[in-house]
Amino acid sequence: MNDQTQPATVRVFIALAPPDHAKEELARELRPAYDTHPRMRWNRIEDWHITLAFLGELPVETVPLLRTPLADLAADRRPLCLALRGSGNFDDRVLWSGIDGDLDELRMLAADVRTVVKNCGVAVADRPLRPHLTLARARRGDRSSVGEIAEELVGFTGRPWTTERLHLVGSNVGRSRGPIHYRDIEAWALGDRNPTEA
C-alpha cells in the first residue's frame, strides 16, 4: 500500500483566530507556566482558535460543499470586537483562556455557522457555545497543573482585537502520533460583501 494515499476523511471544524499580537500578548503571560509546567501538552500558538462548530471526521468529498455557503455567510457578517480574558479549565485536564467582547454576536455567528453546516447535510452537535481558546492539556494523572496555571491567569485581560476571517480548519488527529497540527482548508474575510452585490 502506498503511504502517500490521501485519507478518505478529514477532521474539520469552523473557527475564528485571534491576530498574532493578541496571541503574543497571552503567550508572554504564559511564559512562566511553560517553564514551571513543562510536562503539559501545550498547543502551538499558531494553532490557537475559537471553535464555532466542530464537525468531526468528514468524508473528504463533503468538504467542498461547505465552501460557498460559508463564504456567503462570512461576507454578510460584520467583524466582531473580541478580547482574550481570564482562564479556567475543563475537568482539571484542559486549560483555556476566556473570550470577552461581542459575545452575543459571536453566539449568533456560531448558530448561523451550524445552520449552514446542517443545510449542507452535515450533522453538528447542538451544544451551547462556550467561547474559549484551548491552551494546553494535562497528562494523565496530573490533577493539579491546569488549576495552578488557570489561577495565575485569572486576572489576565488582553487588548481588544477585531476578527478578520472565518476559518474552515482541518487537523491531523488520528493520523499522527505527534502533536495535533491544524491547517486552514480555506478562510474568508468577514464583512467582505460589496453592497452592490447584495
Residues serving a catalytic function are 49, 132
Q: Which residues of 150-172 are buried (b: 16+ CB within 10 A; e: fewer)?
A: beebeebebeebebbbbbbbbbe
Tell me which H or E stretch contains 69. Answer: helix 63-76
**Beta pairing, strands 94-101 & 81-90:** antiparallel
* 85 touches 100 (CB < 8 A): yes
Beta bridge partners of 85: 98, 157
Strand-by-strand arrangement of the 50-59 sheet: 50-59, 9-16, 165-171, 182-189
